[in-house]
DNA sequence: GTGGTGCATTAATCTAGATTAAGAAATGCG
DNA sequence: CGCATTTCTTAATCTAGATTAATGCACCAC
């Protein structure tokens, strides 16, 4: 198992990168984060010794996250493989969904979260009461009702 | 593979339950959610056909989530097993961490999130600038500084 | 039909946290 | 060392979304 040493400040992965790797931290400290459209940084995860850092996305999607080095670190680098085992593939999928959800909760406004939800799960929107969608988005039903009507007014 | 049919409104799992199962949705619609200390409901996930619902925690921990039935559903029920394969175990772990993170972001105030972070990752707190912790918590450095000093004042 | 229960909407008010700005403290670097 | 950069704090103001409350609807059960 070959490992590499990386220096503080080094950037291991950028948003949009393809062929991203999986990093197992043997020592030191990494972090993964996004930068949103307004230029704000949102840390997704700190990775001390023993943690794994990677985009929780399948190997063929471009990265959502930046990964950089907070403290000089020793890493084991692994290739991502397209997951063949269906059970494992489902787990990778779930991780991806949750990663997107966390980023959404940290960086998007109520209306942006709503639009994203409608685009991602158009069928669910039809099937559950609006208050449940609000609950999923982390806002109150009143707030959802309000932002939706404001959104309609501005167009 | 034996499957069961469950009715709308039926509760399959409650917060605190042990020996929870994994549900694969063949048809219908489930949801998983928490209820926080203030009695507010936060939906963690909707599960339509093809999705898996379960607490993303290892088999021996009590459940964080309620699971109930939104539309009459047909389910395949599986026992959770204590994951022997270390790679898989890590993935289950990551799912658990992200689940907790999502719930935290949806239901806790800035100071509560900070306290939880300090308790969960005491070493990280020492090693990174406060503005990065703020970024991880989804708040601004100014807000973190403020709530910390308010918290200190009230004791 | 009537009454009840849950859901959506609107409006008024409130508040946690964002934004902006400035200064002080800490850290790093030539 | 001394200068520059980053970090932290405080304070004033602003705003997205929470809270509270009232109204109208739809859907059921009886």
A75-97: pLDDT as tens digits: 999 988 777 777 888 888 999 99
B94-121 burial, b at 16+ Cβ within 10 Å, e below that, comes to: bbbbbbebbbbbbbbebbebbeebeeeb
Determine the pLDDT at residue B142: 97
**Mean of pLDDT values over A6-21:** 93
Q: What is the mean pLDDT of chain A?
A: 92
Query: Which is higher by pLDDT, A135 or B57?
Result: A135
CB-nearest to B95 from A52, A95, A132 is: A95
Tens-digit pLDDT profile for residues B4-27: 999 999 999 999 999 889 999 999
Higher pLDDT, A111 or A91: A111
Given a cut of 90, is residue B30 above it in pLDDT? Answer: yes
Distance from CA of B151 to the nearest CA of A (A): 23
Residue A38 has pLDDT above 80, yes or no: yes
Chain A residues closer than 8 Å to B90 by CB:
52
- Contact status of B34 with chain A (Cβ, < 8 Å): no
Residue B66 pLDDT? 96
Domain topology for B3-83:
Jelly Rolls (2.60.120)
List, for residues B65-104, the tens digit of each pLDDT value.
999 999 999 999 998 877 777 788 888 899 999 999 999 9
Q: How confident is the model at residue A23 (pLDDT cuts 50, 70, 90)?
A: very high
The bridge status of strand A21-35 relative to strand A52-53 is antiparallel
Q: Which of residues 57-96 of A touch strand C (CB under 7 A)?
A: none
Could you give the percent of chain A with pLDDT greater than 70? 99
Choice between A154 and A24, residue whose per-residue pLDDT is larger: A24
- Chain C: positions less than 7 Å from a protein CB are 6-12, 16-21
- What residue ranges of chain B are covered by domains with CATH 2.60.120.10? 3-83
Whether B130 sits with its Cβ under 7 A from any strand C atom: the answer reads no
Write down the H helix ranges in B1-109: 86-107
Q: Inform me whether the pLDDT recorded for A155 exceeds 70.
A: no
Q: Rounded to whole angstroms, what are the CA distances from B44 to A15, B69, B127, B143?
A: 26, 14, 31, 26
In 3D, which of A12, A132, A29 has the Cα closest to residue B44? A132
Option in B29, B43, B99 nearest A136 (CB) = B43
The residue lying closest to nucleotide D18, measuring its CA against C1', is: A140
pLDDT at B120 over 90: yes
Structure tokens at B117: 């972070």
Residue A125 predicted with pLDDT over 80: yes
Q: Is the CB of B149 under 7 A from strand D?
A: yes
Chain A residues with beta carbon closer than 8 angstroms to that of B92? 91
> Is B117 near chain A, with CB under 8 Å?
no
- Average predicted confidence (pLDDT) for chain B: 92
pLDDT, average across residues A119-148: 96
Which residue bears the tokens 């097993």?
A: B81
Least confident of A51-55, A79-83, A98-102: A79-83
Residue in B closest to A51 by C-alpha: B90
The whole-number pLDDT of residue B155 equals 62
Checking if the pLDDT of B41 tops 90, the result is yes
Sign of CA dihedral B133, B139, B142, B147: negative
Q: How confident is the model at residue B62 (pLDDT cuts 50, 70, 90)?
A: very high
Task: HSE, CB side, 13 Å, CA atoms: give it for residue A23.
Answer: 30
Instruction: For residue A40, give the nucleotide whose C1' atom is nearest its CA.
Output: C18
Q: Are A30 and A11 in contact (CB under 8 A)?
A: no
Question: Which of helix, strand or coil describes residue B143?
Answer: helix
pLDDT at B133: 98
pLDDT band at A60 (very low <50, low <70, confident <90, very high): confident
Asked if B135 reaches chain A (Cβ–Cβ under 8 Å), the answer is yes
Kindly list the residues from chain A whose CB atom is less than 8 angstroms away from the CB atom of residue B41: 135
Confidence (pLDDT) at B152: 81
């Amino acid at each position: 198992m070959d490992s590499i040493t990386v220096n503080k400040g080094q950037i291991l992965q950028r948003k949009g990168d393809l062929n991203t790797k999986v990093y197992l931290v043997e020592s030191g400290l990494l972090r993964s984060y996004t930068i949103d459209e307004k230029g704000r940084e949102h840390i997704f995860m700190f990775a001390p010794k023993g943690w794994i850092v990677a985009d929780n996305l399948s190997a063929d999607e471009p990265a959502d996250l930046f990964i950089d080095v907070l403290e000089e670190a020793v890493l084991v680098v692994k290739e991502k493989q397209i997951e063949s085992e269906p059970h494992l593939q489902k787990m990778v999928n779930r991780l991806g969904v949750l990663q997107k959800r966390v980023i959404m909760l940290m960086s998007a406004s109520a209306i942006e979260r709503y639009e994203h939800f409608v685009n991602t799960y158009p069928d669910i929107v039809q099937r559950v009461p609006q208050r449940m969608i609000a609950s999923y988005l982390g806002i109150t039903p009143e707030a959802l009702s309000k932002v939706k009507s404001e959104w309609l007014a501005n167009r």
